[in-house]
């Protein structure tokens, strides 16, 4: 498949392994999986550049770039249009079919790719993710839709359709951003309509809670959550750290409106954390959650921001 051309591999071992070859194989860095974000594709120039830099940092590493469609144009389209539950299932099978990943791997999620990888962990995690780094991901959803570039037709069409009815059945089945749209001012409607984010955050009533989600996420060695301090794309930006706007008390405006800066419910005050619905509190209290901030706009990744994290959490030879 085309993605094999992007993978940077260590060189070849003969058909019959020797003890020396076994030692060499064992010393390879742990593989890496990357899931790109909205409006990107699995083999975009920017993503290939990042992979090349990681390969220099961790010589011999195997890198798999997640795709929904091998055609890059269709893969980009799938970041706007599609059913996220189905996409996660497709990727789960895709990862299971890559033999180099069978022993487990580290993972990086860029923007929405971060919560999609978390969904993979909670629902599957076979093969398992060891360390997960998410950059500017919408773990507690978004309360507004990001603006589009004027001539980005795909983005503008999706944004217009979502604004026309973000919680209607068509949007919740076909518009990717609608499936992680979470406005606390419309919380009941969100819980009634949303099938993706409300599920992976285990926000549904107790009888619908999935205990496997918490058990799977708690198996991570590390969860690294990166927030962009100048992020104007993710609303609120603290969603990257499991923060959200509060549910209005009746005297406040809805989450998306108003001129003044709104209060944020931080991660450790979220019901999903306090009651440990997804295993996040277990991870945090055992020192396996790292909250990182990068002084930049959304996905404006400087080497100073991402390289130390990739050096520390990717490619372990243990």
Q: Does residue 38 register a pLDDT over 80?
A: yes
DSSP symbols for 305-317? HHHHHHHHHS---
**Catalytic one of 65, 111, 143, 244:** 111
Looking at domain 2-252+260-313, which CATH architecture does it have? 3-Layer(aba) Sandwich (3.40)
Average pLDDT for residues 207-218, to the nearest whole number?
Answer: 95
Domain ranges (residues) in the chain? 2-252+260-313
**Catalytic one of 231, 239, 244, 276:** 231
How far apart (Å, rounded) are the C-alpha atoms in residues 102 and 104?
6
Mean pLDDT of the chain: 87
Nearest to 197 by CA among 267, 258, 142, 270: 142
Our answer to whether residue 36 is catalytic in this structure is no
Q: Does residue 19 register a pLDDT over 60?
A: no
Which one has a higher pLDDT value, 12 or 225?
225
Residue 41: band (very low, low, confident or very high) from pLDDT cuts 50, 70, 90: very high
- Of the chain, the percentage scoring pLDDT greater than 90 comes to 77
CA atoms within 13 A on the CB side of 247: 8
| Sheet with 63-65: strands ordered across | 63-65, 32-35, 105-110, 129-135, 222-228, 289-294
How far apart (Å, rounded) are the C-alpha atoms in residues 221 and 106?
10
Our answer to whether residue 160 is catalytic in this structure is no
**Catalytic one of 36, 58, 139, 298:** 298
**DSSP code of residue 58:** S
Query: Please, are residues 133 and 224 in contact by the beta-carbon 8 Å criterion?
Result: yes
Our answer to whether residue 298 is catalytic in this structure is yes
Q: What is the pLDDT of residue 159?
A: 60
pLDDT in tens, 86-131: 999 999 999 999 999 999 999 999 999 999 999 999 999 999 999 9
Q: Does residue 273 register a pLDDT over 70?
A: yes
How far apart (Å, rounded) are the C-alpha atoms in residues 155 and 57?
34
């Amino acid at each position: 498949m085309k993605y094999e051309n992007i993978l940077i591999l260590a060189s070849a071992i003969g058909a019959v392994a020797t003890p020396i070859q076994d030692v060499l194989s064992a010393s390879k860095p742990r593989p890496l999986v990357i899931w790109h974000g909205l409006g990107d594709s699995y083999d975009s120039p920017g993503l290939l550049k990042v992979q090349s830099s990681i390969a220099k940092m961790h010589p011999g590493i195997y890198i798999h770039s997640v795709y929904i469609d091998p055609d890059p144009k269709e893969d980009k389209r799938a970041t706007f249009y599609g059913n996220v539950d189905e996409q996660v299932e497709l990727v789960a099978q895709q990862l299971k079919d890559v033999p180099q990943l069978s022993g487990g791997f580290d993972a990086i999620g860029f923007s929405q790719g971060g919560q999609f990888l978390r969904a993979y962990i909670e629902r599957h995690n076979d093969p398992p993710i060891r360390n997960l780094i998410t950059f500017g991901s919408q773990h507690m959803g978004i309360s507004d839709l990001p603006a589009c570039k004027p001539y980005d037709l795909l983005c503008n069409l999706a944004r217009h359709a979502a604004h026309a009815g973000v919680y209607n059945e068509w949007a919740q089945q076909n518009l990717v951003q609608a499936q992680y749209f979470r406005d606390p001012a419309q919380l009941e409607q969100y819980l009634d309509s949303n099938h993706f984010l409300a599920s992976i955050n285990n926000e549904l009533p107790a009888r619908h809670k999935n205990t496997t989600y918490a058990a799977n996420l708690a198996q991570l060695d590390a969860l690294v959550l990166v927030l962009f301090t100048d992020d104007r794309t993710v609303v609120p930006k603290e969603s990257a750290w499991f923060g959200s706007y509060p549910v209005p008390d009746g005297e406040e405006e809805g989450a998306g409106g108003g001129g003044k800066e709104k209060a944020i419910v931080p991660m450790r005050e979220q019901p999903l954390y306090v009651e440990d619905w997804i295993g996040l509190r277990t991870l945090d209290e055992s020192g396996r959650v790292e909250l990182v901030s990068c002084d930049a706009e959304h996905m404006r990744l400087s080497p100073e921001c991402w390289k130390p994290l990739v050096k520390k959490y990717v490619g372990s030879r243990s």
